[in-house]
Amino acid sequence: MSAAASVSSGAQPVSKVTDSSILDKQHDLPAFRAAIRKWLEKNCPSAEEVEDMEAAAGIDYPKFEKYQRAWVAKLSTVGLSIPHWPVEYGGAGLSLKHLIIIADEMAKAGAPQLHMYVISFNHIPATLLAWGTEEQKHKYLPGVGDGTPWCQGFSEPGAGSDLASLRCKAERVGNEYIVNGQKIWSSQSKHAEYCILLTRTDPNVRKHAGITYLIMNMKAPGVEVRPIKQSTGRAEFSELFLTNVRIPVEDRVGEENKGWAATLTTLASERGILAFEDAERFRYKMEKFYQQALAEDAPWLKDAQRRREFMRMVSRIQAVRGLIRELLEHNQTDPDAPTIAPSVIKVAETSLEQGFYEWQTRIKGRKALYAEPEAERGEVPGDPMGSYVDSFGRTIAGGTNEIQLNIISERGLGMPRG
Amino acid sequence: MDDLTMGPNAGPNADELAALAESMADVLAAESDRRKVHGFIDGKNQLEAQLWERAKELGWFAVGLPESAGGMGLGVRGLAVLHRELGRQAAPGAFISTLSAAQALAEFSDAAKVVSRLAEGQVAVCVPATPTEPGKGLTLSGGKVSGSASELLGTPSAGLALVAVQDGSNTAWALIEVDGKSAKLSERKLWDLTRHFCTLECTGVTPALLVKGADAAKLGRTLATHMGLAVCFDSIGAADSILNQTMDYMKGRTQFDKIIASFQALKHRVARLKVELELARHASSQALQAVETGTPDCQAIVALSKVTVSEAFAAIAGDCVQLHGGVGHTWEFDCHIFLKRSRLNEALVGQNDKELDWMAERMAEATRAGRSVLELPL
């Protein structure tokens, strides 16, 4: 959960909001939910449009970006683009309870997911509110709220799970850092205007102690973005090649060589509400698939083994959703108490999704293996193979499931490091 | 934190539940510790009878029953706490059958007398291991029950048997007073030495209570639901217990000059078992909540949860044997006690494949009626 998400204040509708019909109801949760639902009925893009957008992801950058920007612009008219941010920085200052309702309604309506803004809306406020200077907050946060896409420059070819071993070099020269190095797995960086960048400023100390956290303008000379084609054929992430990129000292987050603490804040902001929305969307996806199978009297429903496998997955998605609800409750009542729940959830949810798509691919048989146009969407019920191949992104990204198992066993279960 | 007695779902009795949970855990940890359980399965003590007496003294048989029936009114949540703690200690006794029968009978006003005996723990009850199956073996004729029924869960010293009987082409339910003459129980030995399967033989017994028609089907299903919940929570307590024991063992065992708990191959396995346990814990509490709120599909949700939870327990118990190495395969260590308990839990109520099929039917029915079985409170 991001630090920003727990910040709740007096909550005046923000200035860019032209329609306060939703924010006006924030003190009455059922009415708030009803207002969102009503607004979505009129404003949510159609299922065809959402599919068209998803089909463009990592393939047709301008088209994808247009959809994403349009949806953010629409959301911002009712205060739902950055509802959890403090009012001071352009948000609506809503509580986690509100966010849960928003995510639930968005999932239910099948609203477009803001892939391009994951870093902007979650990681940036969490990090800058905790570690940024007043100047940085006022310089960057309003823009982020307006729909400025950001990306993350953390992993390197030689620093994956062992992130702190990163080597991208930043040298202080006067009032600037000169950055040279390479970053990898930077999602949505093809669209990004800014990047949160981890650099090595002192190679002679313990690896966690020589890291400096910088904000990089993606248009700065020396920044080259080379998309990486994934196993799905899409290129949603890129490598960043940085050659003598100049970053002013005022764009440093936290102190020099002390960037690791802010890094942990950034990484911690990935859990909670995002996992909630993912799991709720997955639930609807499974349910829709089931409803369709029932309507078509699909053969697998009469195949005892396949049907039982499906029922077991139904039980698992319910349990995962229960785990996430418990984590959100924990985040509201005791946010500072350590918990391994995010790791448990990540392993359970991503393995379940992978298992589900693998199962769908299996029941579809040879037909699942055609990669013809309608299959390019990577979404059920059209293309389980695409979703299956793509699911490895989820079991690997955001801290591989193996790293999560380390966290569970070491931090949660007190097993010693090897 | 105890998710049954604290947090958003604990309800108005949260404090009472928390106190009860603590006392149950303390009493069972002291009086059904591993040394005593081993002594019991080796025939060296009377732990089963002693625990039963202790449970009686402490009023545990009244926990789940309504106050109007002489109970404590803590409902299925109170029972969940009790079963979880019994499972944690691999406690012997006919708790699942007796407590579930009491809950099911409490819904029938003409069973009031027997329910008040059950609330005091005066008598143990045998019930069919699968209460949703039609009566066979026992037949009802002229108001009397004759024949035999096998695979009853309980104890050979039970004073009552609540059984499905064949009533022409229908199934009725009969409550039989076991008098040792016209109604006799004999034991079938199980690998799980902490619980018993019995066979009931009747010759012209007039049932203490007879339930027929739609009520009979309702009783069977209600009994299955309570047994399903009991198996879920027994499994959660037991799985948590053997997993913790296994981790403790791994943290103390050195090979190749290293604590074996530091080996990543083993650590990852344990972490995965923990993930399974966490999922099972949520499957159990969702089943409990569904029954508490009486959602239309709650019985099917219990059946599905029982599959998930009992399979998780069996997977955990099995791997805990292996993670212990040689000692895990010995009589002296606890692994086999939990392993055997897990396999019996899997086989109680419905066979898991049948339970999945039944849930699939219910889910199809609900979906056709425009209802989702996946709604969870926020």
pLDDT band at A179 (very low <50, low <70, confident <90, very high): very high
Chain B neighbors of A36, CB-CB under 8 A:
none
Q: Which of B283, B305, B372 comes nearest A287 by C-beta? A: B372
Neighbour tally for A169: CB within 10 Å: 15
Q: Does ipTM top 0.90?
A: yes
Q: Which of B259, B285, B368 comes nearest A322 by C-beta? A: B285
For position A144, what pLDDT does the model report? 85
* pTM of the complete model: 0.93
- Which chain A residue has its CA at the smallest distance from B264's CA? A418
- Which chain A residue has its CA at the smallest distance from B272's CA? A405
CA distance A347 to chain B (A): 8
Average pLDDT over residues A21-33: 96
Whether residue A287 and residue B374 make contact (CB cut-off 8 A), yes or no, is yes
Instruction: Give first-to-last CA distance, chain A, whole Å.
Output: 30
CA distance A320 to chain B (A): 6
For position A269, what pLDDT does the model report? 79
For position A143, what pLDDT does the model report? 85
Q: Does the structure show a pLDDT above 60 at A293?
A: yes
Encoded tokens for B9: 């779902």
Is there a contact between B356 and A311 (Cβ–Cβ < 8 Å)? yes
Range list for CATH 2.40.110.10 in chain A: 150-267
DSSP A250-285: GGEESSTTBHHHHHHHHHHTTSSHHHHHHHHHHHHH
Q: Which residues of A have a catalytic role annotated? A: 270
Average pLDDT over residues A203-216: 96
Chain B neighbors of A100, CB-CB under 8 A:
378
Please tell me the class of the A271-412 domain.
mainly alpha
pLDDT band at A142 (very low <50, low <70, confident <90, very high): confident
Residues of chain A whose beta carbon is less than 8 angstroms from a beta carbon of chain B are 100-101, 104, 283, 287, 290-291, 294, 301, 304, 307-308, 310-312, 314-323, 325-326, 329, 344, 347-348, 402, 404-406, 408-410, 412-418
Chain A neighbors of B283, CB-CB under 8 A:
315, 318-319, 322
pLDDT band at A271 (very low <50, low <70, confident <90, very high): low
Q: Is B261 on the interface with A (CB under 8 A)?
A: yes
Is there a contact between A242 and A183 (Cβ–Cβ < 8 Å)? yes
Domains of chain B: 14-92 (1.10.540.10), 126-211 (2.40.110.10), 218-368 (1.20.140.10)
For position A382, what pLDDT does the model report? 62
For chain B, the residue count is: 378
Q: Which of A304, A318, A402 comes nearest B376 by C-beta? A: A318
Q: Does the structure show a pLDDT above 70 at A381?
A: no
Whether residue B378 and residue A104 make contact (CB cut-off 8 A), yes or no, is yes
Q: Does the structure show a pLDDT above 70 at A350?
A: yes
CA distance A342 to chain B (A): 11
Burial class of A364 by CB neighbour count within 10 A (0 to 12, 13 to 18, 19+): middle
Q: Does the structure show a pLDDT above 70 at A145?
A: yes
3-state percent helix, strand, coil for chain A, nearest multiple of 5: 55, 15, 30
Q: Is B308 on the interface with A (CB under 8 A)?
A: yes
CB pairs under 8 A between A and B: 129
Whether residue B247 and residue A412 make contact (CB cut-off 8 A), yes or no, is no
Percent of chain A whose pLDDT exceeds 70: 94
Q: Which of B267, B360, B373 comes nearest A307 by C-beta? A: B360
- Which chain B residue has its CA at the smallest distance from A411's CA? B271
Q: Which of B275, B353, B364 comes nearest A348 by C-beta? A: B275
Instruction: Give first-to-last CA distance, chain B, whole Å.
Output: 20
Encoded tokens for A133: 């200077």
Whether residue A344 and residue B264 make contact (CB cut-off 8 A), yes or no, is no
- Give dist(CA A299, CA A282) in Å, integer: 23
Q: Which of A104, A317, A413 comes nearest B247 by C-beta? A: A413
pLDDT 10s digits, B143-167: 999 999 999 999 999 999 999 999 9
pLDDT band at A379 (very low <50, low <70, confident <90, very high): very low
Q: Which of A301, A314, A409 comes nearest B271 by C-beta? A: A409
Q: Does the structure show a pLDDT above 90 at A383?
A: no
Chain B neighbors of A297, CB-CB under 8 A:
none
Whether residue B374 and residue A323 make contact (CB cut-off 8 A), yes or no, is no
Range list for CATH 1.20.140 in chain A: 271-412
Chain A neighbors of B264, CB-CB under 8 A:
406, 418
Whether residue B271 and residue A287 make contact (CB cut-off 8 A), yes or no, is no
Q: Is B7 on the interface with A (CB under 8 A)?
A: yes
CATH 3.40.50.2000 at A150-267, yes or no: no
Whether residue B267 and residue A294 make contact (CB cut-off 8 A), yes or no, is no
Is there a contact between B224 and B299 (Cβ–Cβ < 8 Å)? yes
pLDDT 10s digits, B31-58: 999 999 999 999 999 999 999 999 999 9
- Give dist(CA B75, CA B79) in Å, integer: 7
Whether residue B271 and residue A413 make contact (CB cut-off 8 A), yes or no, is yes
Q: Is B46 on the interface with A (CB under 8 A)?
A: no
Whether residue A311 and residue B271 make contact (CB cut-off 8 A), yes or no, is no
Q: Which of A271-280, A290-299, B355-364 has the lowest mean pLDDT?
A: A271-280
Candidates A345, A409, A410, A417, partner chain B, best to mutate (most B CBs within 10 A): A409
Q: Which residues of chain B have pLDDT under 70?
A: 1
Chain B neighbors of A406, CB-CB under 8 A:
264, 267-268, 271
CA distance A134 to chain B (A): 36
Report CA dihedral (A300, A304, A306, A311) to the nearest 10 degrees: 110
Domain A4-113, CATH: 1.10.540
Whether residue B267 and residue A418 make contact (CB cut-off 8 A), yes or no, is yes
For position B283, what pLDDT does the model report? 98
For position A333, what pLDDT does the model report? 87
Q: Is B252 on the interface with A (CB under 8 A)?
A: no
For position B9, what pLDDT does the model report? 79
- Give dist(CA A287, CA A387) in Å, integer: 16
Q: Does the structure show a pLDDT above 50 at A260?
A: yes
Q: Which of A314, A315, A321 comes nearest B376 by C-beta? A: A321
Q: Does the structure show a pLDDT above 90 at A367?
A: no
Strand, helix or coil for residue A183: strand
- Amino acid making up residue B165: V
Q: By C-alpha distance, which of B259, B138, B250, B265 is closest to B199?
A: B138
CA distance A313 to chain B (A): 10
- Which chain A residue has its CA at the smallest distance from B370's CA? A291
Whether residue B283 and residue A315 make contact (CB cut-off 8 A), yes or no, is yes
- Give dist(CA B301, CA B286) in Å, integer: 8
DSSP B208: S
A278: left (phi over 0), alpha (psi -120 to 50) or beta: alpha
Scored b (16 or more CB within 10 A) or e, A264-280 reads ebbbbbbbbbbbbbbbb
Chain B neighbors of A402, CB-CB under 8 A:
268
| Dihedral (CA of B356, B357, B358, B360) sign | positive
pLDDT 10s digits, A62-113: 999 999 999 999 999 999 998 988 888 888 899 989 999 999 999 999 999 9
Range list for CATH 1.10.540 in chain A: 4-113
Is there a contact between A344 and B270 (Cβ–Cβ < 8 Å)? no
